[in-house]
A and B are shown apart, each in its own frame.
Chain A
Amino acid sequence: MRVALAIAAAALLTAASATAAGGERMHLRIGSKRFTESYILAEIAAAIARGTDPDLDVSHEQGLGGTALVYRALKEGSIDAYPEYTGTIAEAVLHVPGRADVAGLRSALAREGVGITDPLGFENTYGIAVAAKFALGRHLETISDLAAQAGMKLGFSHEFLGRSDGFPALAARYGIPTAHVQALDHGLAYEALARGAIDVTDVYSTDAQIERYKLKVLDDDRGFFPSYQAVFLYREDASRRMPAAIRAIAGLAGAIDNRTMIRLNARAEVDNRTFVSVAAEFLQSRAGGGERTAELRPSLGRGILDTVRNEGPRHVRLVVLSVLLATLVGIPLGVWARWTRNAGRFVLAATSVVQTVPSLALLCFFIPLFGTGPIAALAALFLYALLPITRNTVAGLDAIPPALRESAAALGLGRWAQLFRVELPLASRTILAGIRTSAVISVGTATLAAFIGAGGFGAPISTGLDLDDTRLILEGAIPAALLALLVEGLFAVLDRTIIPRGLRLGDGGRAGE
């Protein structure tokens, strides 16, 4: 959830920067949540909106996060529209119990200045699935049919078995015998079903794997599962400013049924097509156009190069700026902490506490202060980088032998001359080691900046995590790891060039370590 929040924040950030660059042209921003279906629907809406007016700027703010964040982005105007589900709106946005109908949601949302389209034609809810052949052989159409069967091997995900509105309630409603139910990982359930190890499992009703494994989702004839019909939410003011675009998106109502959505999900997840090309494919077939070869995703090596080119400068900028700022603040802070013992202990304790806050939480903490984007990310990275530098400054000054400190004073050097001519040079090696630690940590932590929309190597990682796409994760992780190694190397060189040679000899050299 925290990750989801962070991602949403990231999307908000890009939205904000887009606003600044927008100028006079109208700009429609479509948001999405962090899963394949949401990405595809957002791309479809973006393509449709573009078709209404060539002068309209349309952007897709990808994978902003979970419901709370994306809805907030919509209400605050960071985005103008995004795909959502009726059940989610009722439960997570409006907090109204029971099955939601679109008319009821529409009037409730109108009070918040938000419009809702008619249902797009498919539902993404929990479903009960069996192999298509198995259903044919046993004449299974509905869950009631299933309950009438004997000797079925049931295998459900841990979550579905554990939720109070999951399998226990379903079994009670339909009278399904609950003995011999196997708990298994959701990812393994499809394979288990294909190999006949189980006969029945729970699925999301538009899951790409339904097509891949030729499954049949049984009809929920007693209306047990809540209704999660897909719709688009949009800002009322956006529909006033760009009526044609919003009307075109609303025109998607009834255009995407469950089978179509499953196929589109499978095109992206199973066939590795880009979201843009899956959306284009859908629109062409909808317009009655011929099949078009969708573009395949580039190779891993190519993907890494693209990441380095597109995200590298932003990542490096975040790291350099945060470490530079932390150095400019951290060294004086460390000196001050050393001079004023009590205040110093407080400063160190405070920076240590910051260090224990999970990075994502810290990133999210800054969203209300700085919004999403590079400023919030910079603030969080700066705080993280601060501790190693401050602590090493204090440690480096502490490690100076009292005799040397006294020699500097007895020589007749003033307080500042003692600091700049003797103490800081003597502590320089330890301080540099602290800056190195900060820089390496910062390279890693900066990948999280993508979750609040600051971009960087974390951008493919966050998308990859959402889509469970290892290759995409590697496209971000490998450049980040290489950058960390580069930073280590750079500091090894700095240690040899800027540290006074006398400190690297004999005991003097180790005193600072």
Chain B
Amino acid sequence: MIAMVGVAKRYGDKFAVAPTTLHVADRRSLALVGPSGCGKSTILRLVLGLLAPDAGSVRVGGVSVTPATVISIRRRIGYVIQDGGLFPHLSAHDNVALLARRLQWPSGRISARVDELAALVGLDSTTLRRYPAELSGGQRQRVGIMRALMLDPELLLMDEPMGALDPIVRARLQQDLKHIFSGLGKTVLLVTHSLDEAAYLGDEVVLMREGRVVQRGTLRELVDAPAEPFVREFVEAQRAPCA
């Protein structure tokens, strides 16, 4: 589904992403973890064409990401960011329906799809009539997920989707997301700083550091066979408070 080959992105003379090759297979979920500034969010932006790579190529579903293809590629991708990224001037419902309206879906089809998604994420229609400022953090995030799923994209990109939530809300949303992922059979690329979340939501984990991939595998593999000392360090730092 995603094929990044030799992709590099630099800011000034510093690599945000060093030449990296990364493939994500259809219907698989991959979690990118690593310390802040390791380049994991940059990977998502490169896939979306929000950034142009300095080297290498990015293909999504077999189509190369170029200025000519970027709009149609983005419509095949759902993108969820921290706190939902909802537009404050539109109600929750209108945020979800914005693109479908642009594409001139008939209104019956729009409302049927919104109802379906509302049931999926567990929101009622009263909540959807509210504006983002009137919603709780968890509700905003669920609306953001609805918006990302509206066109039924093959690929979901999520950047710290749980970043702004308190632990209880976060745990519930994590469970719901896992359920949604497995139920819908989407390809997922998730960015998080939490190894637990990565392991819970991702079939595989990719640990990054300073713009390059350190190790890719299951959590078990990272724990049992760390590729370099940094992997153990990162794993232990995250485990420590719970030990």
- Taking beta carbons and an 8 Å cutoff, which residues of A are in contact with B? 403-404, 406-414, 417, 421-422, 425-426, 428, 500-503, 505-509, 511
Contacts and interface: CB of A to CB of B under 8 A. Distances in A.
A502 B89 contact: yes
Contact of B131 (A407, A411, A501): A501
A503 B75 CA distance: 27
Contacts of B81: 403, 406-407
A413 B131 contact: no
Contacts of A501: 131
9 contacts: A403-B82, A410-B48, A410-B77, A411-B79, A411-B99, A502-B131, A505-B131, A509-B133, A511-B88
A430 to B, nearest CB: 13
A402 B147 CA distance: 18
Contacts of B133: 502, 505-509
Interface in B61-90: 71-72, 74-75, 77, 79, 81-83, 85-90
Contacts, number: 81
Given A413-B99, A509-B133, A511-B88, 19 more contacts: A403-B81, A403-B82, A406-B81, A410-B74, A411-B74, A411-B98, A411-B147, A412-B71, A412-B77, A412-B151, A414-B71, A421-B98, A425-B90, A426-B87, A426-B88, A500-B90, A502-B91, A507-B88, A507-B133
A403 B74 CA distance: 16
B140 to A, nearest CB: 12
Contact of B89 (A407, A413, A417, A508): A508
B88 A508 contact: yes
A397 to B, nearest CB: 14
Contact of B87 (A412, A422, A428, A509): A422
A69 B134 CA distance: 63
Interface residues of B, number: 28
- Looking at A411, A417, A502, A509, the one whose CB has the most chain B CB atoms below 10 A away is A411
A414 B102 CA distance: 10
Contacts of A406: 45, 50, 81, 85
A508 B147 CA distance: 19
B137 interface: no
A456 B71 CA distance: 53
A409 B134 contact: no
A509 B102 CA distance: 25
Nearest to B157: A410
B74 A409 contact: yes
Contacts of A414: 71
Contacts of B161: none
Nearest to B91: A502
